[in-house]
Structure 1
Amino acid sequence: MDDRMMRAVLFDRFGGPEVLYVGRIPRPEPAPGEVLVRVRAFSINGGELAARSGSLRLFTGRKFPQRVGLDLTGEVAALGAGVTDFAVGDRVWGIVGRTGFGSAAEYVTVRAERLGRVPDGLDLAAAAALPVATTAITALRDKARLRPGERLLVCGAAGGVGNAAVQLGRAYGAEVTALARAANLDFVRTLGAHHAIDHRTVPPRELGLFDVVLDTAGTDLRAFRRLLTPGGRMVTIAFDLARPAASLSYIAASAVHGGGRVRFFSGNPTRALFDDLARQVAEGGLRPVVDRYFSLEETAAAHRALEAGGVRGKYVVRVD
């Protein structure tokens, strides 16, 4: 077999999970400042579902084939010029970039500053559930400045970012209320939620008031913003893909109209944040939660499962 080639998940047109296939493409070489990673696992994220369907075509373009995979765990296979803080064989986790994809492959090149070391003793496949937790750290600690004793509402608490936010909220000393499907209420309680509420049966107006609201869906921003206490903070990591212009306009307008600005950001972690993630794991404030493992050839099935809803933690794809 030609070791200059590798397997990767590709798609040649926008559409449902069925457009994904495993093809063979040239193995990349690390440019200066980059690291070549032998990928062991990656997780399935909502952003790549949107990219695959075509909802993000303004950002991804229309040139095919396109690739999927945002985060990864693996081992350093080669170093680009100028990279001195990693060695071949180091166990790493990371993210390929804010708008880039491509970790659904046997190898991927990543800027060195977008990688961190996986804590000793943590299985690489399970660890693939955690890079997205850097988004929860940024949202709660840096954007919302969550303080001990404050009331935190996590919308979408059973998902990838949501389950990490519940764990971190508890670790930060907040009183955590988790919104999830009825079938996942016991699950979010095991993560540390003080209160678990079925979002399908309890409307937002009946939830009470919160110092911090973290929204992972972006589809009902107005309703959740109304739940903020005076001085409350709301952070969203998503906008309504069905009405993107209206949703983004509302987020922007919230900074100047009414009480409580909606803070929106897209996770783009660097080394320091991955170091923070490793510390949270080492201190016991955060653990990986994997709903189910898939093989590389089952990536389409993993996309289909995430679209169906009901995930508990993360769907992780093992590349081996």
Structure 2
Amino acid sequence: MTMQAVQFEQYGAPEVLAVRSVPVPVPDPGQVLVRVRASGVNPHDTAVRSGRLRALTGRSFPKGVGVDFVGEVVQAGSRVAATAVGSRVWGVLPGIAQKGTGSAAEYVAVDTGRISAAPSALSATEAVSLLAGGTTAITALRDEVGLREGERILVRGATGGVGTVVVQYARALNAHVTTLSSARTTSLATKLGADTAYDYNVTSPAELGKFDVVFDAVGNDLRQFRKLIAPGGRMISVALGDWTSLTYVLTSAIFGPRRIRFFSGSPTTDLLTDLATLADSGALTPVVEETYAMKDVVAAHHALHAGGGNGGKRVLSIS
């Protein structure tokens, strides 16, 4: 059997991406085969595809794109209960670069420890829009920095695919939320729960005051935003940024008490279940910027590079 999947044979601009016919993966004993209905378009994908992370991703081709997905289990490995077949699930694939195919494909084989039941009240495209941002938000704010009720948090990049979920989760934790985003999306930030929403083109970091937590989803100018950490405060960056920014993050761990935390998430079933519970409770609302067919993946990557828009997540619908 064959399927359609997005792959690339060399690093470069979005035009290196192509939809190809490839073999359907065969699940290992501890895996399931999932028929994908929707996949997220993430900055991670563009960073890998462009070659910006080639020191980590290597030169083995072809590579796939996409890490998060929503779909149905159609086959169970020999060590997985047959009752899993037919389940509606969501999950995240492992690895910084998907060898062969990623989640931008009609089928994926995935370990059962990396999936959970998908939110029952959301469509596939709505649900997948919460995956990357939601798992990042919970890991960053709950597990890494321990955001507490009443604390002041600044969310930088507040209306992107990750930021829209972080703002909502911070609000659910009863923190005081301040956001930075473009002028056209400050109203969205307020709608999602921001107490104060600023346009980053008008308001400088020096005008913002001090915060218990600074959450960064942009990845540059980290030195300026580190100055906004209050005594006992924490800063966490989830953007890949450039090597200068990464070096500054590492240096901050050595010099001074205001260390910048950085992490690359690896969601488990428990984390995905926590996220699904939040989504089903209505605490998190999907914000979908635009939905693309798989054949339009090049346009989706161009749009992600260009930025702008009205905020939210770009999603591939896999039909």
For the aligned pair, the TM-score class normalised by the smaller chain equals over 0.9
Partner of 1:212: 213
Question: Superposed, which structure 2 residues align to 1:189-268 within 5 Å?
Answer: 189-241=190-242, 244=243, 246-268=244-266
Give the deviation of 1:86 after TM superposition. Answer: 6.1
Q: Does 1:284 align with 2:282?
A: yes
Q: In structure 2, how many angstroms separate the alpha carbons of the residues matched to 1:282 and 1:232?
A: 32
What stretches of structure 2 of length at least 5 have no aligned partner? none
Partner of 2:111: 111
Give the deviation of 1:125 after TM superposition. Answer: 1.9
Is this contact kept in 1: 2:76–2:82, CA < 8 A? no
What stretches of structure 1 of length at least 5 have no aligned partner? none
Is this contact kept in 1: 2:119–2:127, CA < 8 A? no
Counterpart of 1:277 in 2: which secondary structure?
helix
Counterpart of 2:103 in 1: which secondary structure?
coil
Count, aligned residues = 314
Output one character per residue of 1:132-180: Cα deviation in whole Å (capped at 9) or x when no partner: 1111111011111000111010000001111100000111000101110
Partner of 1:65: 62
TM, length-normalised to structure 2: 0.95
Counterpart of 1:39 in 2: which secondary structure?
strand
Q: In structure 2, how many angstroms separate the alpha carbons of the residues matched to 1:225 and 1:170?
A: 22
Counterpart of 1:142 in 2: which secondary structure?
helix
Question: Superposed, which structure 2 residues align to 1:72-111 within 5 Å?
Answer: 72-84=69-81, 87-101=84-98, 102-111=102-111
Partner of 1:156: 157
Output one character per residue of 1:54-97: Cα deviation in whole Å (capped at 9) or x when no partner: 11112222122211111100000111122239611101111111
Give the deviation of 1:283 after TM superposition. Answer: 2.3
Q: In structure 2, how many angstroms separate the alpha carbons of the residues matched to 1:94 and 1:86?
A: 18
What is the aligned-residue identity percentage? 49
Q: In structure 2, how many angstroms separate the alpha carbons of the residues matched to 1:49 and 1:285?
A: 29
Is this contact kept in 1: 2:221–2:245, CA < 8 A? no
RMSD (Å) for aligned C-alpha atoms? 1.3
Is this contact kept in 2: 1:6–1:106, CA < 8 A? yes
In structure 2, do the counterparts of structure 1 residues 171 and 86 end up closer, same or farther at CA, with 3 Å as the change threshold?
A: farther
- Runs (4+) of structure 1 moved beyond 6 Å? none
In structure 2, do the counterparts of structure 1 residues 69 and 271 end up closer, same or farther at CA, with 3 Å as the change threshold?
A: same
